[in-house]
């Protein structure tokens, strides 16, 4: 457990550094307005990709421990993901067109590319899930790390001609490169092995579980989606920089969930309190370091136009503490075959953001949205504490 956790955590740290690198490049080249346009192009395909995957990857990890033949399970998961991703890719095309039409200057190629983003990115996630279930965390993390690395190289190769549209295209190209790198993972895939009965099992467990993932993804992205509609693109650009810094606190909790879910499923670890304690201590240390360094770092790395991001990032970082509890609890309940518990918690979080974020923006602008995020995650964490206290023997 410790080795896998450390590998996954350090990979997440390197990914954050690479993502900050791409963030710095796009912020300095595009400015607040261009950065906001880029976030608009990225946020909607990201949201719909979570819906399109239908929980098939989570179902694979759960069903792999049953008597279903491996080839039939992997083939059925692959077929489910690719079919659903093309369907929701078309939905994404329509939404991008409606949101961006008349607001930003772009070519029709952008909505078309957003449609292709889903099947490419989701198949990469399927490959990652296969590696995760096999506890092959070295290969898993190398593939994860490749995405921001390839994206950064592509941005640097075209630094003088970057536009929001070009940056979005390079992101899709990076995912396509990962799909090629993970080709061997799908060596057991054959459409002749696809079984309707297995697909029904995948959907039965997957959709229930994916409701949690969808709402979790929406909770992490919906604030920027809201800003893409109601706020100037420059405000979204500033907020997106703050969000990218604030998510430093999400690294260890996300790594813990990735590692703990298959280990809980296999019964190799038990309990949850000590993992929450470790994560909280780590995030407290990181928060103390950020308080001292955040303002000069933002000015140095992103430039003076993004100075307001410093204070916002500190507010957003505080969400890491309830998220630490939430992510450990998600791994616990999914491993016990109780995905609806996590679904209810994520519904509380998402509903809180949808209600409080527009109100917060109208009252306190960007700080109001940041405070709405923290409040919503606290409500979700309190729900998990209620469930543990009243329904679980812990």
- Concatenated DSSP letters for 19-31? HHHHHHHHHHHHH
- Concatenated DSSP letters for 230-289? HS-HHHHHHHHHHHHHHGGGGHHHHHHHHHHHHHHHTTS---SHHHHHHHHHHHHHHHHH
Phi, psi of 336 (to 5 degrees): -85, 5
d(CA 353, CA 254): 20
pLDDT of residue 238: 92
- Concatenated DSSP letters for 25-84? HHHHHHHHHHHHHHHHHHHHHHHHHHHHTTTHHHHHHHHTTSSS-HHHHHHHHHHHHHHH
pLDDT of residue 4: 64
pLDDT of residue 361: 92
Residue bearing tokens 């590998």: 7
C-beta separation of 149 from 21 below 8 A: no
**What single DSSP character describes residue 394?**
-
Q: What is the dihedral of CA 384, 386, 390, 394, to 10 degrees?
A: 50
Does the pLDDT of residue 59 top 50, yes or no?
yes
* Mean pLDDT taken over the chain: 82
Residue bearing tokens 């992205």: 221
C-beta separation of 77 from 57 below 8 A: yes
d(CA 118, CA 94): 14
d(CA 353, CA 45): 19
Which range among 98-107, 170-179, 213-222, 312-321 shows the weakest confidence by mean pLDDT?
A: 98-107
d(CA 263, CA 112): 40
C-beta separation of 379 from 352 below 8 A: yes
Q: pLDDT confidence of 394, banded at 50, 70, 90?
A: very low
Take residue 205 and report the two structure tokens written for it: 């467990």
Does the pLDDT of residue 154 top 60, yes or no?
yes
pLDDT of residue 107: 63
Which range among 186-200, 208-222, 241-255, 378-392 shows the weakest confidence by mean pLDDT?
A: 208-222
The CA-atom distances, in angstroms, between 358 and each of 35, 145, 353, 361, 366 are: 21, 35, 8, 5, 10
Does the pLDDT of residue 3 top 70, yes or no?
no
Picking from 37, 343, 68, the residue whose alpha carbon sits closest to that of residue 212 is 343
Taking residues 28-57, report their average pLDDT.
82
End-to-end CA distance of the chain: 21
Share of the chain above pLDDT 70, in %: 89
Per-residue pLDDT tens over the stretch 218-261: 777 888 888 888 888 888 899 989 988 888 887 778 777 777 77
Per-residue pLDDT tens over the stretch 315-352: 999 988 998 888 888 877 877 777 678 878 888 998 99
Q: Which residue has the higher pLDDT, 307 or 43?
A: 307
Q: What is the CA radius of gyration of the chain?
A: 20
């Amino acid at each position: 457990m410790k080795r896998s956790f450390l590998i996954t955590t350090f990979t997440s740290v390197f990914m954050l550094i690479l993502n900050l690198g791409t963030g710095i490049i796009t912020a300095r080249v595009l400015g607040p307005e261009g950065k906001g346009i880029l976030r608009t192009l990225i946020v909607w395909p990201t949201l719909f990709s979570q819906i399109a995957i239908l929980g098939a990857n989570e179902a694979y990890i759960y069903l792999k421990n049953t008597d279903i033949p491996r080839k039939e399970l992997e083939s059925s998961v692959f077929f489910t993901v690719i079919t659903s991703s093309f369907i929701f890719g078309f939905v994404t095309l329509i939404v991008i067109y409606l949101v961006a039409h008349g607001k930003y200057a772009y070519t029709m190629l952008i909505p078309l590319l957003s449609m292709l983003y889903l099947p490419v990115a989701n198949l990469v996630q399927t490959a990652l899930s296969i590696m995760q279930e096999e506890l092959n965390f070295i290969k898993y993390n190398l593939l994860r790390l490749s995405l921001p690395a390839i994206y950064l190289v592509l941005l640097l190769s075209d630094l003088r001609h970057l536009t929001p549209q070009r940056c979005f295209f390079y992101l899709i190209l990076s995912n396509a490169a990962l799909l090629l790198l993970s080709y061997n993972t799908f060596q057991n895939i054959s459409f002749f092995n696809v079984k309707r009965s297995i697909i029904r099992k995948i959907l039965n467990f997957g959709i229930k579980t994916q409701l949690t993932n969808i709402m979790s993804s929406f909770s992490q992205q919906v604030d920027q989606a809201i800003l893409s509609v109601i706020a100037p693109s420059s405000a979204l650009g500033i907020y997106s920089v703050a969000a990218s810094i604030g998510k430093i606190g999400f690294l260890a909790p996300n790594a813990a969930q990735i590692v703990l879910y298959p280990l809980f499923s296999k019964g190799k670890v038990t309990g949850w309190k000590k993992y929450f304690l470790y994560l909280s201590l780590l995030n407290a240390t990181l928060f103390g370091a950020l308080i001292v360094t955040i303002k000069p770092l933002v000015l140095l790395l992103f430039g003076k136009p993004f100075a307001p991001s410093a204070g916002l990032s500190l507010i957003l970082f505080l969400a890491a503490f309830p998220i630490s509890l939430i992510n450990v609890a998600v791994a616990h309940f999914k491993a016990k075959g109780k995905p609806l518990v996590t679904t209810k918690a994520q519904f509380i979080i998402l509903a809180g953001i949808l209600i409080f974020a527009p109100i917060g923006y109208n009252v306190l602008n960007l700080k109001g949205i940041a405070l709405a995020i923290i409040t919503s995650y606290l409500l979700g964490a309190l729900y998990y504490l209620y469930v543990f206290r009243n329904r679980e023997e812990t």
